[in-house]
């Protein structure tokens, strides 16, 4: 069977060439891996810092979990290509599925192969983690059906966010479960405010980047500002960012720390600069369209980075090439495998 023509250049391209082209258009690997690693390491470091653990273990499981963040975000982006196909045909014709860089069959392969690789990698740490990421991606697939069954998801960006954002929140919850197997930290309620701060930080990024003054918005463009007004969206997004930073400062309690940690604990306050610049951008560009992501992207990246700096300074870090901080194999989650079964094989 003849393969479909892709790239619109009249040439045939291999599966891997199409994958690279797909990633380069909407998921540049180096940038997104850096983003995923900052997210995972920063929140894991804060979990350990606010727990009874005395050492933050960096080991093979650290690489696996950072790679899992990257992989899950890639798979979810691939799912979004299909989920948002009709909208992208009108407003984002450069997207890889719309432009013919990849086909629907390619997207299916990315989702299946990505899910299997992520699950297998997490199975090396603990089978509950493997199951968790599969269920999370499964929910991402379910969202395609929900959009068809719930027309309000298409009409309201806020309602859409309510149902779609849990797939991202789940990555922070994944880290909370992961430290049970790699850092000897039990899941406790006192760590949940850290996740709340990360939710608020993302909401600042999300609301600001999808807002625009009403006269400057394209007809039919999906924006939060279209639903509540640009001033209200700007206020809501800015408030989320300020609360995220305030929450982290309260958790860090730098006024009780000593040495370098007493300084790095205040670093998240620098994020207020990006919030202020976003507000200034909106208020000074009310007659000419601009890029609302200009300062919201640096905000979320610096939020993760500054939290990672403090966690690295305030924690005692131990490096090793073990799978889970030098723990015995039964800690990895395969204690249900009986030795006689292995002998029989």
The CATH number of the domain holding residue 61 is 1.10.357.140
Q: Which pLDDT value is given to residue 91? A: 80
Asked if the model's pLDDT at residue 144 lies above 50, the reply is yes
Domain boundary among 162, 187, 212: 187
| Whether residue 161 is found in the same domain as residue 196 | no
Mean pLDDT score across all residues of the chain: 89
| Whether residue 141 is found in the same domain as residue 25 | yes
| Whether residue 149 is found in the same domain as residue 221 | no
| Beta pairing partners, 318 | 57
Q: Which pLDDT value is given to residue 325? A: 55
311 near 49, Cβ under 8 Å? yes
Asked if the model's pLDDT at residue 162 lies above 80, the reply is yes
| Whether residue 167 is found in the same domain as residue 211 | no
Mean pLDDT, to the nearest integer, of 131-142?
96
| Whether residue 135 is found in the same domain as residue 209 | no
pLDDT in tens, 93-129: 888 888 888 888 999 999 999 999 999 999 999 999 9
**Crossing angle, helix 192-209 and helix 230-252, to 10 degrees?**
150
Phi, psi of 338 (to 5 degrees): -85, 140
Asked if the model's pLDDT at residue 161 lies above 80, the reply is yes
Asked if the model's pLDDT at residue 172 lies above 70, the reply is yes
Q: Which pLDDT value is given to residue 117? A: 97
Total domains in the fold of the chain: 2
Asked if the model's pLDDT at residue 276 lies above 50, the reply is yes
The answer to the question of residue 330 being in a domain is no
Asked if the model's pLDDT at residue 275 lies above 90, the reply is yes
Mean pLDDT, to the nearest integer, of 305-333?
77
Asked if the model's pLDDT at residue 271 lies above 50, the reply is yes
At residue 268 the predicted structure's pLDDT band, cuts being 50, 70 and 90, is: very high
Q: Which pLDDT value is given to residue 88? A: 81
User: Exposed e or buried b for every residue in 168-198, given b needs 16+ CB within 10 A?
Assistant: bebbbebbbbbbbbbbbbeeeeebeebbebb
| Whether residue 160 is found in the same domain as residue 59 | yes
The more confident residue out of 1 and 246 is: 246
Taking the C-alpha atoms of residue 312 and residue 29, their distance in angstroms, rounded to an integer, is 25
The CA-atom distances, in angstroms, between 318 and each of 38, 141, 191, 282, 302 are 18, 38, 22, 45, 24
The answer to the question of residue 7 being in a domain is no
Question: At a CB cut-off of 8 Å and minimum separation 6, what does 74 contact?
Answer: 23, 27, 32, 110, 114
| Whether residue 116 is found in the same domain as residue 226 | no
At residue 11 the predicted structure's pLDDT band, cuts being 50, 70 and 90, is: low
Taking the C-alpha atoms of residue 171 and residue 195, their distance in angstroms, rounded to an integer, is 10
State which residues form the domain around 98: 17-42+52-187
Q: Which pLDDT value is given to residue 9? A: 53
Report the helix count and the strand count for the chain, using DSSP H and E.
17, 2
| Whether residue 206 is found in the same domain as residue 109 | no
| Whether residue 153 is found in the same domain as residue 204 | no
The answer to the question of residue 9 being in a domain is no
The answer to the question of residue 327 being in a domain is no
| Whether residue 28 is found in the same domain as residue 131 | yes
| Whether residue 174 is found in the same domain as residue 202 | no
Domain boundary among 155, 187, 219: 187
Phi, psi of 319 (to 5 degrees): -95, 140
Domain boundary among 127, 155, 187: 187
Burial class (CB in 10 A: 0-12, 13-18, 19+), 149: exposed
Taking the C-alpha atoms of residue 317 and residue 55, their distance in angstroms, rounded to an integer, is 6
Low-confidence winner among 116-125, 183-192, 211-220, 284-293 (lowest mean pLDDT):
183-192
The answer to the question of residue 325 being in a domain is no
The more confident residue out of 221 and 47 is: 47
Q: What percent of the chain has pLDDT over 70?
A: 90
36 near 110, Cβ under 8 Å? no
Q: Which pLDDT value is given to residue 85? A: 80
Mean pLDDT, to the nearest integer, of 158-173?
95
The answer to the question of residue 92 being in a domain is yes
Asked if the model's pLDDT at residue 328 lies above 60, the reply is no
Q: Which pLDDT value is given to residue 13? A: 72
Low-confidence winner among 29-33, 150-154, 294-298 (lowest mean pLDDT):
150-154
Residue in this structure with the two tokens 């599966």, named with its chain if needed: 15
| Whether residue 215 is found in the same domain as residue 179 | no
The answer to the question of residue 47 being in a domain is no
Q: List % helix, strand, coil for the chain (3-state, nearest 5).
A: 70, 0, 25
| Distance, first Cα to last Cα, the chain | 41
Mean pLDDT, to the nearest integer, of 268-275?
98
Q: Running DSSP on this structure, what letter comes out for residue 55?
A: -
Q: Which pLDDT value is given to residue 205? A: 97
Q: Which pLDDT value is given to residue 114? A: 95
223 near 214, Cβ under 8 Å? no
At residue 6 the predicted structure's pLDDT band, cuts being 50, 70 and 90, is: very low
The answer to the question of residue 337 being in a domain is no
Taking the C-alpha atoms of residue 340 and residue 77, their distance in angstroms, rounded to an integer, is 43
């Amino acid at each position: 069977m003849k393969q479909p023509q892709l790239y619109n250049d009249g040439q045939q391209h291999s599966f891997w060439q199409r994958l690279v082209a797909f990633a380069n258009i909407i998921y540049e690997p180096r940038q997104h891996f850096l983003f995923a690693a900052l997210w995972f390491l920063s929140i894991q470091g804060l979990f350990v810092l606010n727990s009874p653990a005395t050492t933050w273990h960096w080991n093979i499981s650290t690489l696996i979990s950072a790679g899992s963040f990257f992989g899950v975000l890639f798979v979810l982006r691939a799912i979004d290509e299909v989920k948002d196909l009709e909208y992208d045909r009108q407003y984002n014709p450069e997207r890889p599925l719309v432009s013919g860089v990849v086909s629907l069959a390619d997207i299916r392969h990315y989702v299946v192969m990505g899910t299997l690789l992520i699950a297998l990698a997490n199975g090396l740490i603990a089978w509950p983690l493997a199951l968790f990421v599969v269920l999370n991606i499964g929910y991402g697939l379910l969202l395609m059906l929900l959009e068809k069954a719930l027309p309000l998801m298409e009409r309201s960006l806020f309602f859409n966010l309510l149902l779609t954002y849990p797939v991202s929140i789940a990555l922070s919850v994944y880290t909370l479960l992961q430290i049970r197997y790699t850092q000897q930290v039990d899941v406790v309620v006192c760590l949940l405010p850290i996740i709340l701060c990360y939710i608020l930080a993302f909401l600042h990024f999300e609301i600001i980047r999808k807002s625009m003054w009403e006269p400057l918005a394209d007809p039919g463009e999906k924006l939060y500002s279209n639903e509540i007004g640009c001033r209200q969206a700007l206020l809501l997004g800015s408030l989320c960012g300020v609360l995220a930073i305030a929450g982290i400062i309260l958790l860090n309690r730098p006024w009780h720390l000593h040495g370098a940690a007493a300084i790095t604990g205040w670093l998240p306050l620098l994020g207020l600069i990006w919030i202020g610049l976003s507000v200034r951008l909106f208020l000074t560009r009310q007659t000419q369209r601009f890029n609302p992501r200009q300062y919201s992207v640096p905000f979320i990246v610096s939020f993760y980075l500054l939290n990672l700096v403090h966690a690295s300074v305030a924690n005692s870090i131990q490096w090793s090439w073990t799978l889970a901080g030098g723990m015995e194999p039964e800690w990895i989650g395969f204690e249900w495998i009986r030795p006689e079964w292995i002998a029989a094989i």
